[in-house]
């Protein structure tokens, strides 16, 4: 006869609570004060990056054997959540460092891991992920960037679009076609360095949100790199890309949860202070119902995200489903919660003087990148039909 698990089983371990407290302290003191300026100027928040590096929260997922903090997937999600609560743009520092390095952790040789993970763990470099192209977004297998073998080198030509932190990152995981006849099985993955001859960047995109995180095109013009910079075996790149996204969609879910938490926190403080008709607007039942829905959706999103993080850490067989579900649900919830936060502040919510309009703009991208939520629903339905 099975026993009913204790409710204690649903509490975070004490060390994860300690991680949250530590990250929140850093973010409240040294990240949140930079958020509005990073958004207003559309500039990478160097001061926030320095603060995260100093506290070892810039790439917490990198294992200790490579000089990293060795945080598990749940602790990493909590770090990203807490940074996003303060500044969504800054949360893309730990999130994209994980996205860019996950292919190496999954498939690279030990020598390649040693060479490139250590500088990221030390805060000496960031890592970006180059999959999308101008004509290959959701249909990533249709990419046209080529990598042709030339002796003990590969020569890369092509362009990647929507690359987060492009130009700031020193290293890039780049997916390119090595066998055009094999479609997805002809795609390989490589590490490209910013300093490699032939690497260049487009102008920063002018975006709705996450303005403090640069998004640019990356161009490869006869970029010649050693063959030992291939991640895994030839033709395994697309599989590595998809496995990576199974893990990192959890980080986007965590980002969405953090953005939503920041908006709810601010809205709660506002409605308790704002007076109309002689009393705080928090006393009005219509607004209380809005707050209840916001809190309910947020907690549901958080719990689903944490479950998915646990599955990511264990490498469970159903991670593909749960990663997609967490990303989709949390980002939809974040968009709803931040929009309601703007509504709760009325006209003030629509101005730059208050942070909730920024949070609403930042939340929108979580429904789009690392696979649109329409794609997530395709992924989930296919997993359900497969049983």
| pLDDT tier, 12 (very low <50, low <70, confident <90, very high otherwise) | confident
- pLDDT for 264: 98
User: How does pLDDT run across 276-298, given as a tens digit for each residue?
Assistant: 999 999 999 999 999 999 999 99
pLDDT at 4 over 50: no
40 is catalytic: no
User: Among all chains, which residue has been given the structure tokens 């004060």?
Assistant: 33
pLDDT above 70 as % of the chain: 97
Q: Is the pLDDT of residue 17 over 90?
A: yes
Mean pLDDT confidence for 52-65: 98
Give the CATH fold of the 127-235 domain: Butyryl-CoA Dehydrogenase, subunit A; domain 2 (2.40.110)
pLDDT tier at 127, thresholds 50, 70, 90: very high
Per-residue pLDDT at 25: 98
pLDDT at 63: 98
Selecting among 81, 133, 357, 370, the annotated active-site residue is 370
Please report the pLDDT score of residue 46 as a whole number.
98
Contact 135, 108 (CB under 8 A): no
* Beta-bridge partner residues of 147: 156
Instruction: Write down the pLDDT at residue 369.
Output: 97
Residue range 194-201: average pLDDT?
98
- Torsion angle of alpha carbons 132, 137, 142, 146, nearest 10°? -20
Q: Where are the domains of the chain?
A: 7-121, 127-235, 238-386
Token reading at 306: 């944490």
187 pLDDT exceeds 70? yes
The whole-model pTM stands at 0.96
Q: Spelled out in words, what is the top-level CATH class assigned to the domain 7-121?
A: mainly alpha
Q: Are 133 and 144 in contact (CB under 8 A)?
A: yes
> 238-386 architecture in CATH?
Up-down Bundle (1.20)
Instruction: Classify strands 199-201 and 215-226 as parallel, antiparallel or unpaired.
Output: antiparallel
**Cβ burial, residue 335 (10 Å; 0-12/13-18/19+):** buried
């Amino acid at each position: 006869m099975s026993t009913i698990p204790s409710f204690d089983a649903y509490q975070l371990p004490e060390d994860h609570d300690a991680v949250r407290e530590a990250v929140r302290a850093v973010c409240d003191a040294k990240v949140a004060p930079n958020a509005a300026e990073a958004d207003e100027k559309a500039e990478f928040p160097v001061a926030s990056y320095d603060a995260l590096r100093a506290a070892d929260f810039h790439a917490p997922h990198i294992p200790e054997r490579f000089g990293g903090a060795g945080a598990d997937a749940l602790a990493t999600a909590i770090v990203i959540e807490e940074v996003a609560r303060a500044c969504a743009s800054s949360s893309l520092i730990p999130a994209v460092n994980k996205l860019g390095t996950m292919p190496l952790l999954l498939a690279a040789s030990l020598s390649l891991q040693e060479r490139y993970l250590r500088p990221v763990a030390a805060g000496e470099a960031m890592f970006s992920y180059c999959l999308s192209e101008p004509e290959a977004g959701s249909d990533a297998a249709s990419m046209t960037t080529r990598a042709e073998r030339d002796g003990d080198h590969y020569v890369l030509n092509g362009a990647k679009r929507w690359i987060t932190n492009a130009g700031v990152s020193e290293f890039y995981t780049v997916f390119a076609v090595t066998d055009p006849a094999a479609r997805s099985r002809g795609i390989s993955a490589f590490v490209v360095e910013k300093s490699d001859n032939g690497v260049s960047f487009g102008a920063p995109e002018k975006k709705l949100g996450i303005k403090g995180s640069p998004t640019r095109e990356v161009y490869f013009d006869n970029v010649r790199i050693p063959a030992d910079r291939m991640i895994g075996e030839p033709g395994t790149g697309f599989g590595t890309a998809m496995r990576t996204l199974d893990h990192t969609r959890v980080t986007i879910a965590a980002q969405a949860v953090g953005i939503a938490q920041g908006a709810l926190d601010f809205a709660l403080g506002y409605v308790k202070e704002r007076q109309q008709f002689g009393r705080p607007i928090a006393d009005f039942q219509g607004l209380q119902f809005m707050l209840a829905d916001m809190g309910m959706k947020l907690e549901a999103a958080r719990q689903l995200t944490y479950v998915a993080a646990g599955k990511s850490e264990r490498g469970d067989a159903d991670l593909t489903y749960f990663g997609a579900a967490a990303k989709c649900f949390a980002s939809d919830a974040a968009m709803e919660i931040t929009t309601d936060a703007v509504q709760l502040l009325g006209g003030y919510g629509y101005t730059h003087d208050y942070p909730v309009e920024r949070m609403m703009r930042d939340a929108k991208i979580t429904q789009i990148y690392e696979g649109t939520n329409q794609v997530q629903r395709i992924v989930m339905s296919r997993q359900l039909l497969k049983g």
